[in-house]
Structure 1
């Protein structure tokens, strides 16, 4: 590992040890937070028992559906908007203020439109993630060097070849940023949606534990979500770095 990775490791480890000491010494009461080691131990017990396995599978399925919809439709919409400058000028103010909208205030409307169950939760995850992908696509296409586009025109490359060989490779770093944001926002939207609109899933289980003062289960599941999201983002980060390294050769 390089110095930055070691520094990141020591910061995270130091923060965990700091929380452990505060919880063990009673500075943070057990009714507020349990020690990180207790979170990990209870999480292991929950996973071993299989009690939360159906909730984990449901939440991951919802996140994957919301993420795939966000990335595919976000990229397609971003490409279309980029092709029409007037449309983009009209939409830009809405994109800039999009995340100020209180999405969860509309959850009764989602229930009316999609019914109960998974569709409204996936819809919220999609709405959280899609605009991040649209903005990343627009930023990526904006930064394609004009010299490359002129070269494609000189060689009379068709639109598909230009997109695959010029536009996508040039915009790839920005598209990866959109993908990583779409993952994070999809998790946020799905789990928060399960808090208020579901009778199953990790979000529901966390809310149920909170309402019943079951701190061990609540913090164990929160730890699982943090580890899962961190692992997914780390995977995309490593993949991005490898692609950038190959591109720089």
Structure 2
């Protein structure tokens, strides 16, 4: 763990300890906020009870499906935009203003097209995440040094070797950034959609607990959601580091 990571970890731990002290000393309204330690205990109890297993699996399944679709479509879209500069010039204003559009207004249309099931929420997650993947893929491809591409042509590398040895290693940081943003955006969209547009799932159960003043359940579910998303991001970082090491070995 490097120095920056230790500082980040220390900052997070310090904030949690501060919240624990503030809540137990009643500096924060104890009716609306419970100590972080009680949140963790409640999260463990909810997970072991199995009461919300169906809702958890539904949300995770919908979000991960939206992530998979957004990563594949966004990556292909970014490559196409890179290969077709005229199309990119046409779409650039739309891409820049994309997140100014409230995607949730499309939910009724998605219900009509996809039916009254979980697929409209998957569609919302996909629409919210796909552009982040496409833009980061495009940025990565644009930052491949041209001198390396010319060197590949001089060395008469075939397309596969050029991608494996030059394009992929140079653009990989941006592609993985796109994947990590896709995970965050898809989960935000799916859970937010369940808050107001669904009768089940993580978001619905959190909103239901909030409306019934059930703070232990509400904060426990929130801790579980943070734990799942953080674990997924940690797995992505681990995979990214291993892939970097593998590519460096192949290039060397």
Tell me whether 1:95 sits opposite 2:95 in the alignment. Answer: yes
**TM-score (normalised: structure 2):** 0.93
Separation (CA, whole Å) in 2 of partners of 1:136 and 1:88: 14
> Is the deviation greater in 154-163 or in 133-142?
154-163
Runs of at least 4 residues off by over 6 Å: none
Tell me if structure 1 keeps the 8 A contact 2:169–2:244.
no
Deviation for aligned residue 1:123: 0.3
User: What is aligned with 2:194?
Assistant: 194
Question: How many pairs are equivalent?
Answer: 249
User: What is aligned with 1:39?
Assistant: 39
Structure-to-structure mapping, 1:50-199, within 5 angstroms = 50-199=50-199
Separation (CA, whole Å) in 2 of partners of 1:51 and 1:225: 15
Separation (CA, whole Å) in 1 of partners of 2:75 and 2:5: 31
User: What is aligned with 2:204?
Assistant: 204
Tell me if structure 2 keeps the 8 A contact 1:62–1:118.
yes
RMSD: 1.6
Deviation for aligned residue 1:240: 1.9
Separation (CA, whole Å) in 2 of partners of 1:109 and 1:37: 43
Give SS of 2:33's match: coil
Which ranges of structure 2 fall in alignment gaps of 5 or more residues?
none
Separation (CA, whole Å) in 2 of partners of 1:26 and 1:66: 41
**TM-score (normalised: structure 1):** 0.94
Separation (CA, whole Å) in 1 of partners of 2:166 and 2:180: 22
Separation (CA, whole Å) in 1 of partners of 2:83 and 2:205: 44
Tell me if structure 2 keeps the 8 A contact 1:42–1:216.
yes
Deviation for aligned residue 1:158: 4.1
Separation (CA, whole Å) in 1 of partners of 2:114 and 2:239: 35
> Is the deviation greater in 165-174 or in 89-98?
165-174
